[in-house]
Structure 1
Amino acid sequence: MIVDVSHGMPRDAVRHVGDLGNIETDADGRTYIAMRDDVISIGFDKTRNVVGLPIVIHNLTDDGGHTGKGESNTTGNAGARVACGTILFT
């Protein structure tokens, strides 16, 4: 697992493996996600593998570590956790 780097966004040169950016939710609370990421791996590369890791949805917009304020470099000032789960591959 890649550690000891700053928080970032999917297109940033430096980021945590799990920094997957923001998702948008419509007025009815629905979210549709289609994702392609060149950093994460689904079980094939041990240093970038996300299988078995948690996925966390926060209640605020992630600043990508770009503001330098508060917890920007660790959580992107994304606020409280509102949903959590585990990434599985079956």
Structure 2
Amino acid sequence: MKKIALLTACSLFIFATSCKKEKKEAKEVIEETVEEVKEEVEEVMAKEVKFPLEAKSDSGVTGEVTFREEGGKVMMVAYLSGLTEGEHAIHLHEKADCSSADGKSTGGHWNPTHQPHGKWGASEGYHKGDIGNFKADAEGKAKVTFETDQWCIGCDDPNKNILGKAVIVHQGVDDFTSQPSGAAGARISCAGIIE
């Protein structure tokens, strides 16, 4: 009888130890699978749109602009060529319509919150399209980067959604004070933000 009880106890111990080990292994597999699924979802959730910038106002300024949304932020990267050396302004405008020769078919700055024009983040207010100024090198080339959590690509928030807007590069510099557009001069390059 003692032998049977001892064998039963040993069997239960081995079974329990084996179950603990299997349970731990199963938990590790589940955790790894959850992490893999999270990474895949994040990749799927990342949105990217890319467009050529076309010359306007007989400028010869061309390039490419990419918007990528990931982790609740949108990153804009623009590569430009054909610029005059020095500073230029870049903004988002109301309409993705680059059909006019002077770029004015895009309307004014994108300003869904009806704020005064200003420098991005200014306490006095700024347009959601007030990106700012950048510098072109001696060869007329420039790279512009901008990142914000105040934009989205195709979301349901009209105060954040950049689809249907346009990127406009200006000949001059944004002074951040002149209303309603910063006195940045002619529109010299344009890209509509569409899917």
Category of TM-score, reference length = shorter chain? 0.7 to 0.9
Give ranges in structure 1 of 5+ residues lacking alignment. 66-71
Between 1 and 2, higher relative CO (CA 8 Å, sep ≥ 6) is seen in 1
Match of 1:36 in 2: 147
- Which structure has the highest helix share of the two? 2
Structure 2 residue runs of 5 or longer lacking an equivalent are 1-110
Residue 15 of structure 1 and its aligned partner are, at CA, apart by: 0.9
- Separation of aligned partners in 1, 2:146 and 2:164: 18
Contact 2:133 2:174 in 1 (8 A): yes
1:52 aligned onto 2:158: no
Q: CA offsets per residue over residues 34-54 of structure 1, 9 Å max, x none?
A: 211232222223222111201
Q: Distance in 2 between matches of 1:50 and 1:28?
A: 31
Hey, what does 1:80 align to over in structure 2?
Answer: 186
Q: Does 1:6 align with 2:6?
A: no
1:18 aligned to which of 129, 153, 157 = 129
Q: Which has the larger radius of gyration?
A: 2
Amino acid at match of 2:135: E
Q: Given that residues 41 and 49 in structure 1 are in contact (C-alpha distance below 8 angstroms), is that contact kept between their aligned partners in structure 2?
A: yes
Q: Report % sequence identity.
A: 33
Large movers: runs of 4+ above 3 Å: none
Number of residues paired by the alignment?
Answer: 83
Match for residue 69 of structure 1?
Answer: none
Deviations 1:13-47 (A, max 9, x none): 31111111112111101111221123222222322
Counterpart position of 2:71? none
